[in-house]
């Protein structure tokens, strides 16, 4: 329902002011084309009183629009329409009575206060009431649309936040268990390597906690996080895992969703370690093409027959991309038996401000 306290009355007054100026111009042009001179009272006071009286009537019409709402459906629609029909007649008669009386009191030439004068042009002004009614419902529809848009945007951000938290909950337990087991294994045989891995794990966890609420980070930050993860995986798997990077320098300040690369890289490590050669190879690439940021993560694993299958991590990433960018992103998987997986993501290039 229309809420009067949310109406911007200053804009309503400005609209009536513009209407008044327009009517003054119309009356003036008509006077120029007429046979004789026209009094300034007739040319200026008449339109000025039109705008002033209807501006004062506007809150009452808006209140009637809210009280007898014609947009609530069929129930009560006829009775509300009859109320507005009666109100439009009464307000128009009151408007004409005030207009004629004020013009008479101000000395406008040729004005006589009588019922004949008051009712003479009532048919012209009745549509003004219905025009105000239309404006009231248009403002109400716009307010509802604006509110729903804000609610939808807020829900989408909450969804992104929930997905990010779910991703972190998914990431931390199994990764921590694997890493701690690897550290425990290395402590006796490779104490220096165990120390390095412990230090990297500490930095990795600090980054996760520091960026808990950030939806987007720079690609440089995302890559630093991914590199920490991969360095620990390289310590775990020794010479069985090799990593290569091909990063265009101008892509590093671009904003990307927080933890976007992590599930992609986890999948690449998992698939890469299944390579028939016994050595996994991961390639990470970032380019800027036609205003888009293009990210690719490839592995040399066994690949698959179909590119449509998506794990939980990849589905989560795609849902976050859809919530953040709508239709302005692309995610594609290229795979074939014995050719590994290649995941390509295109995003709008947005540098950090």
Question: Which pLDDT score is estimated for 297?
Answer: 93
pLDDT band at 212 (very low <50, low <70, confident <90, very high): low
Count of CB atoms within 10 A of residue 264's CB? 24
194 versus 95: which is more confidently predicted?
Answer: 95
Q: What is the DSSP string of 269-281?
A: HHHHTT-TTS-EE
Q: For residue 286, give Cα distances in angstroms to 55, 233, 255, 317.
A: 60, 21, 12, 17
Which H helix or E strand runs over 153?
helix 122-189
Q: What is the pLDDT of residues 296-346, one digit of tens each?
A: 999 988 887 776 666 777 787 888 888 788 888 999 988 888 788 899 999
Percentage of residues in the chain having pLDDT higher than 90 = 20
Rounded to whole angstroms, the Cα distance separating 91 from 55 reads 12
Helix (H) or strand (E) holding 39: none
| Range picked from 6-10, 71-75, 110-114, 341-345 for highest mean pLDDT | 341-345
> 341, 333 in Cβ contact below 8 A?
yes
- CA dist 334 and 230 (Å) reads 22
Q: What is the pLDDT of residues 32-90, one digit of tens each?
A: 776 566 677 777 888 888 889 999 999 899 999 988 888 876 667 888 889 999 999 99
Beta-bridge partners for 254: 351
Q: pTM of the predicted model, to two decimals?
A: 0.56
Is pLDDT larger for residue 340 or for residue 155? 340
Task: Specify the residue for token string 């990795």.
Answer: 204
Residue the block writes with tokens 């007649």: 89
Beta strands 280-289; 241-247: pairing state: parallel
Place of tokens 């976050």: 320
Say what the pLDDT of residue 176 is: 73
């Amino acid at each position: 329902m229309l809420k009067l306290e949310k109406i911007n009355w200053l804009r309503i007054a400005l609209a009536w002011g513009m209407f008044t100026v327009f009517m003054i111009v119309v009356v003036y042009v008509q006077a120029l084309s007429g046979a004789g001179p026209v009094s300034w009272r007739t040319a200026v006071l008449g339109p000025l009183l039109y705008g002033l009286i209807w501006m004062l009537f506007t809150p009452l019409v808006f209140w009637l629009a809210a009280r007898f709402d014609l947009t609530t459906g069929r129930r009560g629609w006829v009775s509300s329409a009859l109320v507005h029909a009666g109100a439009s007649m009464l307000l128009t008669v009151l408007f004409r009575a005030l207009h004629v009386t004020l013009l008479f009191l101000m000395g406008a030439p040729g004005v006589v206060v009588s019922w004949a004068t008051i009712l003479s042009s009532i048919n012209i002004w009745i549509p003004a009431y219905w025009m105000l009614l239309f404006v009231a419902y248009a403002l109400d529809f716009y307010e509802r649309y604006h509110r729903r848009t804000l609610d939808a945007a807020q829900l989408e951000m909450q969804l992104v936040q929930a997905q990010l938290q779910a991703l972190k909950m998914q990431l931390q337990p199994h990764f921590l268990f694997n890493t701690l087991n690897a550290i425990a294994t290395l402590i006796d045989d490779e104490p220096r390597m165990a120390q390095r891995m412990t230090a990297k794990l500490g930095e990795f966890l600090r980054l996760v906690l520091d960026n808990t609420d950030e939806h987007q980070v720079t690609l440089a930050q995302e890559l630093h996080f991914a590199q920490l993860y991969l360095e620990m995986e390289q310590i775990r798997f020794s010479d069985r895992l090799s990593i290569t990077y091909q990063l265009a320098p101008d892509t590093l300040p671009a904003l990307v969703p927080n933890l976007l690369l992590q599930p992609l890289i986890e999948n690449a490590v998992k698939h890469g370690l299944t390579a028939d050669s016994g050595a996994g190879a991961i390639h990470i690439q970032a380019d800027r093409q036609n205003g888009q940021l293009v990210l690719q993560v490839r592995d040399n694993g066994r690949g698959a027959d179909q590119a449509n299958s998506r794990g939980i991590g990849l589905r989560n990433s795609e849902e976050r991309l859809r919530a953040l960018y709508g239709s302005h992103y692309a995610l594609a998987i290229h795979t074939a038996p014995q050719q590994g997986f290649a995941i390509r993501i295109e995003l709008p290039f947005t540098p950090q401000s």
